[in-house]
Each structure stands twice: as C-alpha cells, then as structure tokens.
A and B are shown apart, each in its own frame.
Chain A
Amino acid sequence: MTRRLIVLAILIALLVGAAIAELALGAVKVPPGEVLDILFGNGKAGPNHQIVESLRLPRTVEALVVGAALGVAGAILQGALANPLASPDVIGVTGGAGFGAILIIVLFPEKIALLPIGALFFGLLAAAMVFLFAWTGRNRGSIAKVVLAGIAMLSLFTAGTTGLLAAFPEKAPSAIFFLAGGLTSSGWESLDTTWPYFLAGAILVLFLIRPLDRLALGDDVAASLGSRPQLIRLGAAVAAALLAAASAAIAGLLAFLGLVVPHVVRMAGRTSSQTFVVPASALGGAALLAAGDTLARTVRAPIELPVGPFMVILGVPVFLWLLRRAL
C-alpha cells in the first residue's frame, strides 16, 4: 500500500512539473513570474498574456486530458482483454481516426476545421465495426475474437490511409504531423468539440474499475461472483474507444502512450489492481504527454515537431529499466 502511495505521489509530482514546464517554456520567453501573474488573473494585457492564456494554457490542458485518456484507455483494454499488447490500436480506433483525418486533409483541405470531427467519427466507426464483428456470431465477446476483429479493422483503415497518401502524395507533409501525433495551439476549440466523449468515457471507466478487477480472476470466477465477462469487456472497449477517438481527434495517433504507460505503472506499483492502475495510468499518461509536448515545442523552436517520437524517447528508457527489474 505504501509503495502504491509513493508511486502515486511521484506521478503527481511529475505531472505538476510537466504542466509547469508546458506553461513556462515556449518559442517566446515569458518570465515565470509573469506566467504566474497571467494564470492568476493579474497579468498585463499584451502579447505575453495572449500567449499564456490563449495558446499555452489550452494546450497544457489538452496534453493532460489526452495523456490521461490514452493511459486509461490502455489500462482498461489490457485488463479487459487480459492481453499485455492491448492498446487503442487493438479495437481499431487508431486506424479509423487516422483514416478520417487524412480523408479531410486530402479531400477537403479547405475544411480543415472538420479534421477532429473526421478523426472522431471514423475512430468510433472502426470501433463500432469491431464490436459488431466481435460480439455477434459464435464465441461472441471472446478475447481472441475481439483482438482479431480489431487487427482486421486496423489493417483495413491503415490500408485506406496509405492508399490516400499514395494517391495524393503532395498532401503528405500536412498528414505527417497528425500520423506522428502532435498537439497544436488551436485554443479551446478541439476540447469544445470532444469533451462530451472524454466525459462519457471517464464515467464509464469509473463503473468498470471493480468489475475489471473481478475479470482478472478469470471469466469463470468472475461469472461465479455475479459479473458478466462479455458485458464488462464490451463496456471497457466502448469506454476505450470514446477516450481514444477523442484523443486522436485532438492529438493525432499516439498509440505508444496507451500501450506502455499502464505497464510502467503496474511494474512500478507491483500490482495489477485497476483501483491503482487506472488512476496511476491517467497521471502517468498526462505527465508523459505534457513533458513530451514541451520538448516537441522547444527543441527546435520556433519550429514545432510531432510529439510522438519525444514520448517514445522519454518513455522507452523508463519502460526498459522497469522491465529489466520486473522480469
């Protein structure tokens, strides 16, 4: 118990540090005191005020929300499918969201504002198709069926994305940023569109934490305790689809985060209990994405780079270190 509390405390400290760095650093130097003044409503009007309030603050909130959502999506999918390789990729969301975004970039570049909606729609559509195939017919809701349907859907939409990029290669530079995963300074607009999906996903997750712990004992034991394994799995997949599709709409494809963060917190906390793994994954995901985004914005400032590779650079060493100790 003490170990878990220590891990949670470290994750909270990392998250606070990453959020402060995200707010304080950028292409334009704003003194830390002025950043604080602006955040507490005492700042002077001017460009720095606009930079902190309209650009960095929404972006920091986006990084925290998306990071937390992806961490949680990965955690509940790995728990529900009893598969350490499960991530939002496995239920087709990432492939669908990528296809939806590239479709807008390639065919409707003048309607770029529709990009988050395209990503969200196709992300959820892909997940819905996975649910349809996995929860109908024989062995409905079995782990193998969910995973295989997800891989098929991921392949289908990835092929669509590749086909679009091959047909319109001149659009590739615009698409790369989304495919590599990256936040953009677009104010509160993206969150305005996606917050209901985050909220719905988060509420669903709250109801799934204990059932997922029972599911970890095995389908038969869970059933004997009054749980319905297939329903729990479906609920987890729907929650993960909502969280991951909304995340992809804001930050592109960041599959690594959902895959690795739950493992890191499980190994660090030495427990697979969802009561610990879910909140810890939320904190860890949020901290990792905020830290990665700060690097992506500042390493070659004023040019902004996709955040995906930076998260890998930050996350892989920690993951490998823990893996070496755990196995």
Chain B
Amino acid sequence: MVQARKSRLAAALSLLAVALCLWAASTAAAAAPKRIVALTPFAANTLAKLGVEPVAIGQTVGGNERFAPQLNGVTVLPLSHPNGPNLEQLVSLRPDLVLSTKTWAKGNQAMQSLGIRVVTREPVRVNGVIPKTLAIGSLVGKLPEAKKLVAKMKEELGKARKGIAKRPTVMVILGVGHSPFTFLPNSWGGDLVRKAGAEVLAGGLSSGSGFQRISDEVVVAENPEILIVVPHGEPKDVPAITRYFENDPAWGATRAAKEGHIYISTNNSLLQAGTDAAKTIEEVRRRYLHNWPG
C-alpha cells in the first residue's frame, strides 16, 4: 500500500518536473529573439553553427569576411563608418536583436536610441571564444546547443595545440598600404599565433587596440625567425600590398627574409575573430611555424 503510494507520488513528481521543463523551454523559446542581425563574422557564424538564421549579416565595404556556407542568401548589410549599417535599412528589417562590435560604437548608440536591443559579444582573444559562444547561445535561446558546440571547440583547440616542440620568434605584421602595423599579443592574430607556439615579438610596443604602427628599424632590430604579413585593404589592392611586403628591402637583413620565412596570410583568419580558431591554429603551425607533428 505504502509502496504503491510512493510510486504514484514519484510518478506525479516526474510529471510535474517534465511539465516545468516544457514550460521553461517554451518560455525561453518565446523570449528568444527571432529577428537577429549579426554585424560580425564571429556572431554570424556562431548563429549558423547554432542553427539560427539571422535576418541579415554585416559586411564591411570592400571587406573580405569569412562566412559559413549556411549564410549564403542571407541579406547583407554594407558596413561603413561612422554608424556601421545604414540605420534606415536596419530599421526596415525590424530586428529584435543586433549582435554588434565596439567598432560601431556610434551606430550602436543610435540603434539603442531607436529602441533596438544591441549586444556586443565579440571575442578579442582566443580564450574569449568559449564564453562569447555561450553568451550568444544564451541570448538566442540555444544554450544547450552552444554548450555542445563549446565542448567540441575545446576538444579541437586541445588537439590543435598538442605537441608543440618548436617555439620560433615571430612578428605578425598588418600591411595597410605600404605601412606596417604590428599585431600585439593582445590582438586576435597575435594571441592565436602565440597559442600556435610562437614567441610573438612586438618591439616592446603596447596598445589597447592590439595594433601599433611599427618602424622597419624595429622589425630589423627584433630580427624574427618568421614574419607573417596580413595585407589589409580592398580585395583589388591586396595583390599589390602582398608583392610590396614579400620584397620589402627594409626587412632584407632579418633572419626571416634570409631564410625565406616571410609568409602572407590573406584569408582574414588572423585579423577577424572566428569560430574556427582551432583550424587556424593548426594552419599557422603547419604553414608558417612548421611545428606541427609529423
């Protein structure tokens, strides 16, 4: 008798728990924004990986952002200074949520004044990818999916960083026209190359932005074993920038130039935070640092 009562009580409690879970899930789904605009490749690709299709994605004018194939066909908003997206175009999309970046601070402020919810969830360094992915998952009502994605990312990052035996000295240079800027260790690219096993040289420079204009004299004085150059400009200008830095006579005295270790990275993976950090680390190790096992 007592046993039967206990069973009924347990069944009732289980049903109640299931009902509560269903109610919580439906509430979360109802509260989750439906019309999301992602202004950065990281946010857009994270949404794609979580199975959420944004109503629009941002693309800088003349930019070369890397988007997941699932985002083909999604409306593209051209981004330009000072606001980022055209606010009329943005408003016409009736967004519930805009995932933005601090680059568009002025635009973010204007969007908020129009009653649009604006959130910046952009990782600055590789370690930021995990919390930012979880944050985006939570924002769009896809936390369980985000947790799965994060577990996979952690595993891939672990694999990508295994067996680092060689730690060469590296300078990572952003080539803007003919002007070199150094990626500092606190930039996305600098951090990523460091995680790939390099000792990132920056001539003792620092900057909150992660980049500093650097003199060729400092590059020669630092004498890195490897120089990785990221040409920055409109796609049509990139070949000319590449040719210039590949043959920069000012760098001729460096070990990197003498040993033929000046590499060019053109796919923006070092410049823009991405969801594929593990893949990029592996690529940096294989192509530039030559410290990938086997």
Interface residues of A, Cβ cutoff 8 Å to B = 26-28, 47-48, 50-51, 54-56, 109-110, 112-113, 115, 168-171, 173-174, 176-178, 182, 184-187, 189, 301-304
CB distance from A270 to the nearest CB of B (A): 41
Contact B86 A301 (CB under 8 A): yes
Are the CB atoms of A186 and B61 closer together than 8 Å? no
- Residues on the A chain within 8 Å of B83, using CB: 184-185, 304
Given contacts A169-B213, A170-B211, contact A51 B88 (CB under 8 A): yes
Apart from A27-B88, A170-B213, A182-B82, what 14 extra A-B contacts exist at CB < 8 Å? A47-B91, A48-B92, A54-B114, A55-B88, A56-B88, A113-B109, A168-B209, A173-B81, A174-B82, A174-B106, A184-B110, A186-B113, A187-B113, A304-B86
B92 with A51: CB separation less than 8 A: yes
Secondary structure dominating the interface of B:
mixed
B113–A55 CB distance below 8 A = no
| Min C-beta distance of B98 to chain A, whole Å | 14
Given contacts A50-B114, A186-B106, A302-B77, contact A27 B89 (CB under 8 A): yes
Our pick among B89, B114, B213 for the contact of A28 (Cβ within 8 Å) is B89
Residues in A whose Cβ lies below 8 Å from that of B114: 50, 54-55, 187
A173 to B80, CA, bound (A): 9
| B243 shortest CB reach to chain A, Å | 22
A115 to B93, CA, bound (A): 28
Given known A174-B81, A177-B81, contact A185–B89 (CB-CB < 8 A):
no
The interface residues of chain A lying within 8 Å CB-to-CB of B102 are 109-110
Flag if A47 contacts B179 (CB, 8 Å): no
Q: Which residues of B contact A48 (CB under 8 A)?
A: 92
Which residue numbers of B lie inside 8 Å of A, CB to CB? 61, 77-78, 80-83, 85-89, 91-94, 102, 105-106, 109-110, 113-114, 176, 179, 181, 209, 211, 213
Chain A's nearest CB lies how many Å from the CB of B83? 6
A170-B211, A186-B110, A189-B113 known; A47 and B82 CB under 8 Å? Answer: no
Bound Cα distance A109, B120 (Å): 14
- Bound together, the chains give a CA A33 to CA B178 distance in angstroms of 52
Q: Is the CB of B80 within 8 A of A304?
A: yes
Q: Do the beta carbons of B80 and A303 come within 8 Å of each other? A: yes
A109 contacts B105, CB within 8 Å? yes
Q: Are A185 and B82 in contact, CB atoms less than 8 angstroms apart?
A: no
Q: Are A185 and B209 in contact (CB under 8 A)?
A: no
Chain A nearest CB, measured from B288 CB (Å)? 23
Contact indicator A187/B110 (Cβ below 8 Å): yes
- Contact call B176/A169, Cβ cutoff below 8 A: yes
Question: B105 and A302: CB pair below 8 A?
Answer: no
Name the prevailing secondary structure of the A interface residues: helix
Alpha-carbon distance between A115 and B213 when the two chains are bound, in angstroms: 25
Q: Among A26, A112, A174, A303, point to the contact of B109 (Cβ < 8 A).
A: A112
Q: Which residues of B contact A189 (CB under 8 A)?
A: 113
Kindly list chain A residues whose C-beta atoms are within 8 Å of the C-beta of B110. 184-187
Interface centre among B86, B176, B211 (most CB of A within 10 A): B86
Residues of A within 8 A of B211 (CB): 170
Question: Which residues from chain B contact A47 at a C-beta distance below 8 Å?
Answer: 91-94
B279 to chain A, nearest CB (A): 27
**In the bound complex, how far is the Cα of B82 from the Cα of A182, in angstroms?**
10
Across the A-B interface, give the 8 residue pairs with the lowest CB-CB distance, nearest first. Answer: A302-B86, A112-B105, A27-B88, A28-B88, A27-B86, A302-B89, A47-B92, A185-B87
A sample of 10 cross-chain residue pairs with beta-carbon separation below 8 angstroms, ordered by A number, consists of A28-B88, A28-B91, A47-B92, A55-B87, A55-B88, A177-B81, A184-B82, A184-B106, A185-B110, A301-B86
Using Cβ atoms and an 8 Å threshold, which residues of chain B touch A51? 88, 91-92
